Amino acid sequence: MWTYEKRLQFPVKITKTCPKTAQLIISQYGGPDGELSASMRYLSQRYTMPVKAVGGLLTDIGTEELAHMEMICAMVYQLTRHLTVEEAKTAGFDAYYIDHTAALWPQAAAGVPYTALEFQSKGDALADLTEDLAAEQKARTVYDNLLRMITDPEVREPLKFLRAREIVHFQRFGEALEKTKEKLNEKNYYFYNPEFDKHMIIRE
């Protein structure tokens, strides 16, 4: 169950139209390391996690990623809401405009549509948490790359906020991995799969 709160997690107030910036930022909506992928990854992986607290953490971070997706969409929307067809033509936004006008649709910066193939839900806590650590790093790199290219402070502030969240989430997933390891045999962490061979897990 989710409930909606009528606000963003961080204020987004962009006054200058810039379809080029919108086309870059949209990658964090539907791209390979985007917020939609992040949210679906964590919210898919959580059900079979062998440590209850880790399932709880995946729920909370997966929920926060939904709020980040909303921020990214708000940025794309505000960057294109007053778009003229001339601006769409000259700023490299033309191909997107043909298919979606100025509406929001999840795709990568290069136009590849959002797909669930961008993440895994492997059913093995060590494999999944290691993917989650990598996912936060990759998303952080995207924000680094965006910050190198974008100069408008109204766009940079929310991007900096989102980048900082990737680092915090990395730390939390690292702690979740440590919690999971405590339940395993430290002489051989790979002796069994804690999500499948449940009878072998070390009891609380």
Partner 1 sequence: MKIQHLAMASVPIQTWGQIYDNQTALKKGTIFQELDMPFFAADDGGMSGCCCQVSDTADPNQREREEKMLQIYQVCFAADDLRLYLDTHPQDMQALDLLKSMLAQRKQLLKEFAQRFFPLTMDCMEELYQAGTGEDCYCWQEGPMPWEGACV
160 binds partner 1 (CB under 8 A): yes
Nearer to partner 1, 20 or 181 (CB): 181
Closest CB 189 distance from partner 1, rounded Å: 5
Nearer to partner 1, 41 or 169 (CB): 169
178 binds partner 1 (CB under 8 A): yes
| Residue from 95, 103, 112, 167 binding partner 1 (CB under 8 A) | 167
Closest CB 89 distance from partner 1, rounded Å: 25
Helix, strand, coil % in the chain, rounded to nearest 5:
60, 0, 35
Return d(Cα 197, Cα 186) in angstroms, integer.
16
27 binds partner 1 (CB under 8 A): no
| Residue from 175, 191, 196, 198 binding partner 1 (CB under 8 A) | 175
Q: Is 43 exposed, middle or buried (0-12, 13-18, 19+ CB in 10 A)?
A: middle
Nearer to partner 1, 86 or 190 (CB): 190
Residue reference for tokens 């492997």: 122
Structure tokens at 75: 């940025």
Q: Which residues bind partner 1 (CB under 8 A)?
A: 3-14, 53, 56-57, 60-61, 64, 70, 73-74, 77-78, 126, 130, 133, 143-144, 147-148, 153-154, 156-165, 167-179, 181, 186, 189-190
